[in-house]
Amino acid sequence: MSETLNLTRNQELVLKALLHSQGPLSAYQILDELRGEGLRAPLQIYRALDKLRDRKLVHRIETLNAFVACSCHADHAGETVAFAICEACGKVEEFSDEALQKRIGAWTREHDFLPARTTLEIKGLCAACH
Amino acid sequence: MSETLNLTRNQELVLKALLHSQGPLSAYQILDELRGEGLRAPLQIYRALDKLRDRKLVHRIETLNAFVACSCHADHAGETVAFAICEACGKVEEFSDEALQKRIGAWTREHDFLPARTTLEIKGLCAACH
DNA sequence: CTCCGATATGTTATGACATTACATTTATGT
DNA sequence: ACATAAATGTAATGTCATAACATATCGGAG
Ligand SMILES: [Zn+2]
Ligand SMILES: [Zn+2]
Ligand SMILES: [Zn+2]
Ligand SMILES: [Zn+2]
């Protein structure tokens, strides 16, 4: 699977670290996990993350300064991706809500604002934690 | 006006710095503006910001690591506050959309997620910049 | 008024997150 | 084989935020 993605060694290592994690990881946490593989500097992680984010294989959680592997079931074409973040167990659920996007689109049209990227992060307690 | 808010000296200085600014300011930018008033350390700014944020007089823009004075026309009671951020001129428009909140509420109910705080930031170009 | 607890302040040091700059290596297409 | 673009390695630095501790100010109970 990763083979078909033509990832470089560093990119593949970073992606696997995120896939194996239960929750979001900071760049420095990823680095610590990959020191055994020979990675030493933060920049090696950030560069891999940048490429993975370009390809929507990884997302950044702005409110946590951390990263998650994409768990999208559908495609990312033009979608606004949102996250529900449990403050108890740390799990992050990625989702994309059609109606929500429509509402955001309605606001931007009404206010003549040309949107480029939308960040939507909801913090609270997941079903298992309340 | 600020007098009726019973702000301390540092809080009032920080709030005024944000009110006089055209766009969001980082804590360190605020500090630089207030060195003339005798402030020297980042913590003095962060402490004032914390109090101002508690009282919803200031909001943090997560995607910019920066802060803005509240420009809310209505009250903040239970509202989700959102921001439209112009990437050309830097202006930030604060808003609160009832329908949007309803949609977010619908998603969280459907997924049995108990929301605490929502962050919604839209980056793009404002009416004046496109 | 005096004491006391709560809140705010001042200062230094440190921790956490991210990028610049530059040299080197590896992949790709002609 | 060569030229070019992409990726990597490394060190230093920049930016954002908090910990720890000492001091000062405010406000109410006695
Ligand atoms: Zn995704
Ligand atoms: Zn949970
Ligand atoms: Zn506001
Ligand atoms: Zn603009």
Q: Which pLDDT tens digit goes with each residue over B67-106?
A: 999 998 677 877 899 999 999 999 999 999 999 999 999 9
Same domain, yes or no, for B117 and B61?
Answer: no
Residue B4, pLDDT > 70, answer no
Same domain, yes or no, for A65 and A85?
Answer: no
Q: How far is the CA of B52 from the centre of ligand 3 (A)?
A: 11
Same domain, yes or no, for A105 and A64?
Answer: no
pLDDT of the residue at A3: 44
Residue A75 lies in a domain: no
Q: Nearest chain B residue to A111 by CA: give it.
A: B127
Residue B45, classified by CB atoms within 10 Å of its CB into exposed (0-12), middle (13-18) or buried (19+), is: buried
Range of the domain at A88: 81-124
How many angstroms is C1' of D1 away from CA of A4? Answer: 30
B68 vs B53: CA distance, rounded Å: 10
The token duo for A81 is: 């991706």
The answer to whether the Cβ–Cβ distance between B121 and A126 falls below 8 Å is no
Residue B2, pLDDT > 60, answer no
The number of folded domains in chain B is 2
Same domain, yes or no, for B38 and B58?
Answer: yes
Same domain, yes or no, for A51 and A109?
Answer: no
pLDDT tens string B44-75: 999 999 999 999 999 999 999 999 999 986 77
pLDDT tens string A2-48: 346 899 999 999 999 999 999 999 999 999 999 999 999 999 999 99
Query: Quick one: which of B28, B30, B21, B27 has its CA closest to B89?
Result: B21
Q: Which residues pair with B123 in a beta bridge?
A: A117, B85
Residue A121 phi, psi (nearest 5): -135, 125
- Average model confidence (pLDDT) across chain B: 94
Same domain, yes or no, for B9 and B64?
Answer: yes
A116 vs A100: CA distance, rounded Å: 16
Task: Answer with the one of A40, A69, A98 that is the final residue of a domain.
Answer: A69
Q: What percent of chain B shows pLDDT beyond 70?
A: 96
Same domain, yes or no, for B98 and B65?
Answer: no
pLDDT of the residue at A76: 83
Same domain, yes or no, for B8 and B55?
Answer: yes
pLDDT band at B3 (very low <50, low <70, confident <90, very high): very low
- Partner residue opposite A84 with nearest CB, options B62, B97, B113: B113
Same domain, yes or no, for A89 and A52?
Answer: no
pLDDT band at A1 (very low <50, low <70, confident <90, very high): very low
Among the residue ranges A32-36, B10-14, B23-27, B75-79, the one predicted with the least confidence is: B75-79
Same domain, yes or no, for B38 and B91?
Answer: no
pLDDT of the residue at A78: 75
The token duo for A50 is: 């940048």
Residue B31 lies in a domain: yes
pLDDT of the residue at B44: 98
Instruction: Identify all chain A residues contacting B99, using CB atoms and an 8 Å cutoff.
Output: 103, 106
Q: Is the CB of B38 under 7 A from strand D?
A: no
Same domain, yes or no, for B38 and B65?
Answer: yes
pLDDT of the residue at A43: 98
pLDDT of the residue at A27: 98
CATH code of the domain in which A98 resides: 3.30.1490.190
Q: Nearest chain B residue to A80 by CA: give it.
A: B122
pLDDT tens string A55-110: 999 999 999 999 999 998 777 877 899 999 999 999 999 999 999 999 999 999 99
pLDDT of the residue at B5: 81
pLDDT band at B43 (very low <50, low <70, confident <90, very high): very high
Residue B9 lies in a domain: yes
Asked if the C-beta of B5 comes within 8 angstroms of chain A's C-beta atoms, the answer is: no
Residue A103 lies in a domain: yes
B116 vs B65: CA distance, rounded Å: 21
